[in-house]
Amino acid sequence: MYEDLSNEELFGISDYSDTDDKVEELSNNLSSSNEMSEPQSSDYEVSSSSPLTENEPTIISPKPKLITLPSIIGLILYENLLTHEQQSELINGIIEANYFDNPETNQAMCFGTLPSFIHRVIEIISNTPGFFPDEIQHRDPLFDQARSIINLYRPGEGIAGHVDLPRFEDGIVVISLLSSCVMRFRPSSEVDIDNSFYENKFKDVHDAYEMIPVTLRPGSVLALNGPARYNWTHEIEETEIDEIGDKKIIRSLRISVTLRKMKKDQLLSNKDDSNPFSFEIKKR
């Protein structure tokens, strides 16, 4: 049906054997179609030391790849940073926390102490150099007291263009799980943001009609700081198929984890953050 799909743009989790059932269950609960394709062998490193049979390749892990965009300063995309095991751990943690049992729910916000499965991924990010300038990368803690947000996207769902609120420190991370989508970046001057805080924060100039698509694949970690965080909006279109150049991505169930750090003065004024175990769940 979609012959023109590039293999490279099809992603699946069929090798997440113990996670598959849970995702299927989650997906059934959400009455969402969840057809997942086989991962392409070119995406993976195959162990040369272990004996291979024709039908059972030993999948070790895709190769991590760091991507920057010259036009969006402060955007770093680390593809395949999380191994399959690490992705599974996160997905399992999210499923077991039952955030999305209610079919009306597509967003869960954690306050205060972060769950251990998120804590472990923060450790990976802190120990991976190059995401942020030193003052952010080495701040302690990197995302503690963050309002961590877990978003669930059914095929066709998206998020409207926005710049993350100024109550959060610079240095934001979005982890992508389960399937791919395209995030679109536009200069923030193009979008009506009712807050002078954002205006020309980093004094870089953009063509008002520029739109830059970035493919977010499962296991990737997107980091935004400086101009990328303040001078560009990001959005995910409400569509079942993303088109990027001549490639298409069929949307499937996607989960993302956004990690941020709340500013100190905001913590004092926000009583929700004093409760270490609370989380709020709502519809995006």
Ligand X SMILES: O=C(O)CCC(=O)C(=O)O
Nearest approach in angstroms of CB 63 to Fe ion is 27
Per the CB < 8 A criterion, the answer to whether 62 and 220 are in contact is no
CA distance 12 to 231: 33
Regarding 106 and contact with ligand X (CB under 6 A), the answer is no
Per the CB < 8 A criterion, the answer to whether 42 and 68 are in contact is no
User: Of the two residues 164 and 242, which places its CB atom closer to Fe ion in the complex?
Assistant: 164
User: Of the two residues 57 and 263, which places its CB atom closer to ligand X in the complex?
Assistant: 263
User: Of the two residues 34 and 256, which places its CB atom closer to ligand X in the complex?
Assistant: 256
- Answer for which of 147, 154, 184, 234 binds ligand X (CB under 6 A) is 234
Q: x/- contact string, 149-168, with Fe ion (CB under 5 A)?
A: ---------------x----
Regarding 174 and contact with ligand X (CB under 6 A), the answer is yes
Regarding 180 and contact with ligand X (CB under 6 A), the answer is no
Q: Pick one of Fe ion, ligand X, none as the site partner of residue 256 (Cβ within 5 to 8 A by kind).
A: ligand X
Q: Which residue has the tokens 């109550």?
A: 167
User: Of the two residues 77 and 149, which places its CB atom closer to ligand X in the complex?
Assistant: 149
In the three-class reduction of DSSP (H, G, I as helix; E, B as strand; rest coil), residue 137 is classed as helix
Regarding 151 and contact with ligand X (CB under 6 A), the answer is yes
Torsion angle in degrees (nearest 10) through CA of 220, 224, 228, 231: 130
At 27, list the tokens. Answer: 């997906």
CA distance 147 to 162: 16
At 68, list the tokens. Answer: 């920057």
Q: How many residues bind Fe ion (CB under 5 A)?
A: 1
- Answer for which of 9, 79, 164, 170 binds ligand X (CB under 6 A) is 164
Nearest approach in angstroms of CB 234 to Fe ion is 6
User: Of the two residues 5 and 193, which places its CB atom closer to Fe ion in the complex?
Assistant: 193
CA distance 90 to 50: 27
CA–CA–CA angle 227, 208, 220 (5° rounding): 45
Per the CB < 8 A criterion, the answer to whether 57 and 48 are in contact is no
Regarding 170 and contact with Fe ion (CB under 5 A), the answer is no
User: Of the two residues 225 and 258, which places its CB atom closer to ligand X in the complex?
Assistant: 258
Nearest to 36 by CA among 5, 12, 65: 12
CA distance 222 to 215: 10
- Answer for which of 258, 259, 261, 262 binds ligand X (CB under 6 A) is 258
Applying CB under 5 A, which residues contact Fe ion?
164
Applying CB under 6 A, which residues contact ligand X?
149, 151, 159, 164, 174, 234, 256, 258
